[in-house]
Structure 1
Amino acid sequence: MTVLIAGAGPTGLTLGIELARRGIPCRIFERAQRLFLGSRGKGLQPRTLEVFDDLGVLDAIRAGGMPFPKFRLYSGTEIVWERPLHEMLGIEETRPSPSVPYPQPWLIPQWRTDEILHDRFVQLGGKVEFDSEVIGVEQDDDEVRITVRRNGIDEVITGDYLVGTDGGRSTVRKLLGVGFEGETYETEQTLVGDVRVDGLTGTACHILTHSGDVMKRFSLWNLPGSDHYQLVATVTDAAIPTLANVQQLLADRTGRTDIRLHDLRWISVYRINVRMVDRFRVGRVLLAGDAAHVHSSASGQGLNTSVQDAYNLGWKLAGVIGGAPDELLDSYEAERMPVAAQVLGLSSAMHARNFRPTTGSAPAIHQLDITYRGGPLAKDDRATPGELRAGDRAPDGLLPDGTRLFDLFRGPHFTHLTFDRPAEGYDVEPGTHVLVRPDGYIAVISPETDAVEQWLARFGTAPVRRMQPVA
């Protein structure tokens, strides 16, 4: 049984890791000749850090990044103020606790995240097939066939499932004829690129303006462990971006000629799209990441949501291949489509706000509160449910012997906990059983162990780690 994956970005690589560590053969096809070169999706949210902990890459991610620096607003050459990320976004700062081990977002350029995920995939025996473009898709009840073009030569490759993780312009999505509904901001474009900078000091998100107006800015972000900065500027009509016209844009926006840009490593201009598919699955073909949903980069949700699509899908694909019913795979769309819709709304609201002050409620961008309550895999039969419900993220916590719950959850297995008393993050009665899925979400909360066993008999093909009692 082989899973074919189109696209070697964070989504495809995460899915490859998830399958490889479960012993499921997979092939990743990437039309480019190498991994992505740019810093584009540079912010990892707390929930994604938890995912990367489970995947075995968190140490490398932490070594390759840094906490988000402060935002520094300039009026000409004068520094007007410095503010931390949570103040800029108008959100509450997440505090560390036993149940939330990684409370703060992490800054790391996407090219480094891709390298780390690629190295982990290779470590598990995987290989990305570069310069290999998927140009055709056919399927029947038994298999999926893709046409891959390499060096002008077409080859038909057969697999059991195909996952399109090939970005916002997804070829797989177009070949399936899946709708991609939404809107494009026609009059607004964004320049994003990586460039070296002379004339700036300190580590910050440098918001450069002429007179302190944050609405007319040219931003330069320090990138950890790199001599390059990420440049970001919103424009209404962008010509083909070159180093010369980007330098001119900087001068026009800020009035400054003392800052010199050079060594432009990568640059892109794009219109903001807010779109999502009407289906995540067509038979044996599934869509994930930007192939399924695109939106503004405001609030830093894109790469994170894409990684978590793959994290949700990986264990389900492996489960169905291992003998679980097909409805387990259907639950991927049922769980992730509402999340994608919510993220589109959040990102659009944050984009419209554009760092302006607000008196409204602060949105949660950390993704720790994503839940699948009421979904097809959530069973909670307590007479009086507590704050924590089936479908929620399973919190971390410390056991009396110093063991973290995340240490128990780490790996491609289910975890069955029995509680003697309520614990940090788990407001449950003595004798309550909690079944944690391989992706760290709660499948079952019940006073009866039979409820756990019935769920596992239906959907569980992975090993189960049983820990009792937890007190």
Structure 2
Amino acid sequence: MDSTSVLVVGAGPAGLALACGLRGLGVPVRVIDQAAGPATTSRANILHGRGVEVLNRLGALGDLRDRAQHAIRISYYVANKRLATVSFGKIEGKQLVALLVSQAEIEAVLRKRLTELGGTVEWGRELTGLAQRPDGVTATLQDGELSADYLVGCDGAHSTVRKLSGIGFPGVPLVDQWLLADVRADWELDRTGSSGWFHRDGLFFAMPMRSAENDTWRLMADVRPTDGEQPDVIDQLQQLLPERTGQTDAKIRDVAWTSTFRIHRRLADRYRDGRILLVGDAAHIHSPFGGQGMNTGIGDAENLAWKLALVAQGHAHAALLNTYQAERRALAEDVLRNTTASTKLMLADGAVARILRDRLITPLVNLQVVQRRVTWLASQLWVTYRKGPLGSGKGSRPRPGDRVPDLDCRDEHGRPTRLHTELGGKWALLAPATTSLETLAPLGEHVVHLIPDRPWRESWLIRPDAHLAWRGTSQPALAQWLEKLLSGGRTA
């Protein structure tokens, strides 16, 4: 039977990011996907600050900044009257500005990075069965069996891994039906941003997509389900377009793809079952409003990668894997809560709710303070694990569990560099030049010593995902903290 250290099921953004993270840390990985080959449709299409940051640390950002559509704002209208424009501004400099880019292109750069790291995707391999052993997992495929020390389900909302593991996925539907299409269209609409229209019968959205002719759009609209056969998606959109937007001269010409979907709010009741774990949409699904899905999945992958690497390579006890659920499921609860609230606000069921939305709440987003807040919330750079088993609510900020910004520093040879550039899957000890790395030997070889660019008395140990692990001045205290982390997955 073929075997590997970690078997990743699903070659979407989350699965590829996890595989890149593990391969970068020297962990043998195999990636399987039941599809015949890479997806070509765009699906998710916005990468916020956290996603940009993670891909950069993985060495997988490539030229996405150059190829992305720079239209990171959305204007809201009632007919031809503009109510407000939400702009996603810069955070910590332009390197973390959100990118409007196809999921297919993001997956392509991740596959390229995986290939550089010696990995590949095995297409056309469908998982049909799972069996856990004390020392691993046996995966039954249509064409044979694979053995792995750990198996991670990154196989989406209808996850086979989740179902075969018996992990519950409770939740509720939020919206019965949405229409979606990527089209070429003729109309006089500003392509420097997206547009959304409020109408008494529902919503209509248009987002510019990158194309050579600058005429490609993603269109979305909610509709009420009807009995019997549904009309063609494009026919419905062509009818709804002038009704809800007032754009009577708009014409859809060519169609790249269409889809219909329901919006659900669901959260796996656990992220780990022994040697089986869930990442991304396999663990949580929610409204697409705010573009949080792909970013949350990529964040899941980075959080799990360094922990699973330590366990798989024998540096840490398997209890460390419990911190993945403790940290990331709590975040997913926040994301589900916020996206559900946004969806209900957008849909505004009833005349009074629509008046409040259109005349009171929506115009508030024109305020600069609201714009900054929206950008910050969408970025997910606010995420902290301070309340988790590896965090702390005491002391000066940043506290253990908080994200550490991309600081100027010097490498061990004194050359100028930046913190996030040097992480790349490694742990970083940000400390004076005379500080020894000997205490961190139990972490293995993936530790880098960085020297602060200003007078610095403390030592900061920064996790591979850029969150603060420990800060202090005592090497014995650091050694004690590390022993707790590796032996029990809890540092408090």
Same fold flag (TM > 0.5): yes
The one-letter amino acid of 2:342's match is M
* Contact 1:26 1:126 (C-alpha < 8 Å) held by counterparts: yes
* Contact 1:18 1:311 (C-alpha < 8 Å) held by counterparts: yes
Query: The residue matched to 1:365 in structure 2 has which SS?
Result: helix
* Contact 1:433 1:452 (C-alpha < 8 Å) held by counterparts: no
* Contact 1:67 1:104 (C-alpha < 8 Å) held by counterparts: no
Q: What is the CA–CA distance in structure 1 between the aligned matches of 2:470 and 2:207, rounded to whole Å? A: 43
Q: How do residues 441-456 of structure 1 correspond to structure 2 at under 5 angstroms?
A: 441-456=467-482
Cross-structure match for 2:420: 406
Q: What is the CA–CA distance in structure 2 between the aligned matches of 1:375 and 1:133, rounded to whole Å? A: 36
Indicate yes or no: 2:291 matched with 1:296.
no
Q: What is the CA–CA distance in structure 2 between the aligned matches of 1:373 and 1:429, rounded to whole Å? A: 26
Indicate yes or no: 2:442 matched with 1:416.
no
Q: What is the CA–CA distance in structure 2 between the aligned matches of 1:255 and 1:365, rounded to whole Å? A: 29
Once the 2 structures are TM-superposed, how far is the Cα of residue 81 of structure 1 from its aligned partner? 3.5
Indicate yes or no: 2:208 matched with 1:222.
yes
* Contact 2:71 2:194 (C-alpha < 8 Å) held by counterparts: no
Q: How many residues align?
A: 434
The one-letter amino acid of 1:374's match is K
In the alignment, which of 387, 405, 422 is matched to residue 395 of structure 1?
405
Once the 2 structures are TM-superposed, how far is the Cα of residue 117 of structure 1 from its aligned partner? 1.1
Q: What is the CA–CA distance in structure 2 between the aligned matches of 1:439 and 1:370, rounded to whole Å? A: 11
Change (3 A) 1:306 1:215: farther
Q: How do residues 279-290 of structure 1 correspond to structure 2 at under 5 angstroms?
A: 279-290=270-281
* Contact 2:77 2:83 (C-alpha < 8 Å) held by counterparts: no
Q: What is the CA–CA distance in structure 2 between the aligned matches of 1:412 and 1:305, rounded to whole Å? A: 18
List per-residue Cα deviations over 1:210-238 (Å, max 9, x = no partner): xx748744322111245531111111227
Indicate yes or no: 2:314 matched with 1:325.
no
Extract unaligned runs of 5+ from structure 1. 87-92, 421-425, 462-471
The one-letter amino acid of 1:444's match is W
Change (3 A) 1:374 1:73: closer
The one-letter amino acid of 2:470's match is V
Indicate yes or no: 2:294 matched with 1:306.
no
Indicate yes or no: 2:383 matched with 1:370.
yes
Query: The residue matched to 2:17 in structure 1 has which SS?
Result: helix
Change (3 A) 1:101 1:436: farther
Change (3 A) 1:94 1:74: closer
Indicate yes or no: 2:24 matched with 1:21.
yes
Indicate yes or no: 2:169 matched with 1:159.
no
Query: The residue matched to 1:403 in structure 2 has which SS?
Result: strand
Cross-structure match for 2:335: 343
Query: The residue matched to 1:229 in structure 2 has which SS?
Result: strand
Give the share of equivalent positions with the same residue, in percent: 35
Q: What is the CA–CA distance in structure 2 between the aligned matches of 1:208 and 1:379, rounded to whole Å? A: 41
Once the 2 structures are TM-superposed, how far is the Cα of residue 63 of structure 1 from its aligned partner? 2.0
Once the 2 structures are TM-superposed, how far is the Cα of residue 44 of structure 1 from its aligned partner? 1.2
Q: What is the CA–CA distance in structure 1 between the aligned matches of 2:474 and 2:395, rounded to whole Å? A: 14
Once the 2 structures are TM-superposed, how far is the Cα of residue 351 of structure 1 from its aligned partner? 1.3
* Contact 1:319 1:459 (C-alpha < 8 Å) held by counterparts: no
Cross-structure match for 2:179: 191
* Contact 1:241 1:269 (C-alpha < 8 Å) held by counterparts: no
Q: What is the CA–CA distance in structure 2 between the aligned matches of 1:245 and 1:349, rounded to whole Å? A: 27
In the alignment, which of 234, 237, 261 is matched to residue 243 of structure 1?
234
The one-letter amino acid of 1:371's match is T
List per-residue Cα deviations over 1:239-290 (Å, max 9, x = no partner): 2644333323324434655222133222221111111011100011000100
Q: What is the CA–CA distance in structure 2 between the aligned matches of 1:28 and 1:318, rounded to whole Å? A: 16
List per-residue Cα deviations over 1:413-439 (Å, max 9, x = no partner): 21111269xxxxx9x995222100111
Once the 2 structures are TM-superposed, how far is the Cα of residue 205 of structure 1 from its aligned partner? 4.3
Indicate yes or no: 2:50 matched with 1:47.
yes
Indicate yes or no: 2:130 matched with 1:147.
no
Q: What is the CA–CA distance in structure 2 between the aligned matches of 1:449 and 1:377, rounded to whole Å? A: 18
In the alignment, which of 43, 56, 63 is matched to residue 59 of structure 2?
56
Once the 2 structures are TM-superposed, how far is the Cα of residue 6 of structure 1 from its aligned partner? 1.1
* Contact 1:334 1:376 (C-alpha < 8 Å) held by counterparts: yes
Q: What is the CA–CA distance in structure 2 between the aligned matches of 1:200 and 1:111, rounded to whole Å? A: 27
Indicate yes or no: 2:264 matched with 1:273.
yes
Extract unaligned runs of 5+ from structure 2. 348-356, 434-451, 488-492
* Contact 2:27 2:313 (C-alpha < 8 Å) held by counterparts: no
Change (3 A) 1:241 1:60: farther
Cross-structure match for 1:316: 307
Q: What is the CA–CA distance in structure 1 between the aligned matches of 2:279 and 2:478, rounded to whole Å? A: 29
Once the 2 structures are TM-superposed, how far is the Cα of residue 440 of structure 1 from its aligned partner? 1.1
* Contact 1:6 1:30 (C-alpha < 8 Å) held by counterparts: yes
Q: What is the CA–CA distance in structure 2 between the aligned matches of 1:48 and 1:183, rounded to whole Å? A: 27
Cross-structure match for 1:468: none
Aligned alpha-carbon RMSD (Å): 2.9
Q: What is the CA–CA distance in structure 1 between the aligned matches of 2:138 and 2:427, rounded to whole Å? A: 32
Q: What is the CA–CA distance in structure 2 between the aligned matches of 1:103 and 1:146, rounded to whole Å? A: 39
Cross-structure match for 2:440: none
Q: How do residues 425-444 of structure 1 correspond to structure 2 at under 5 angstroms?
A: 430-444=456-470
The one-letter amino acid of 1:308's match is G
The one-letter amino acid of 1:448's match is S
Q: What is the CA–CA distance in structure 2 between the aligned matches of 1:418 and 1:214, rounded to whole Å? A: 59
Query: The residue matched to 1:194 in structure 2 has which SS?
Result: strand
Cross-structure match for 2:448: none
Query: The residue matched to 2:379 in structure 1 has which SS?
Result: coil
Change (3 A) 1:206 1:388: closer
List per-residue Cα deviations over 1:102-147 (Å, max 9, x = no partner): 3432211111111111111122221111122112111111111112
Once the 2 structures are TM-superposed, how far is the Cα of residue 455 of structure 1 from its aligned partner? 3.5
List per-residue Cα deviations over 1:448-471 (Å, max 9, x = no partner): 22233334455579xxxxxxxxxx
Higher helix share: 2
In the alignment, which of 155, 166, 180 is matched to residue 169 of structure 2?
180
* Contact 1:295 1:344 (C-alpha < 8 Å) held by counterparts: yes
Query: The residue matched to 1:58 in structure 2 has which SS?
Result: coil
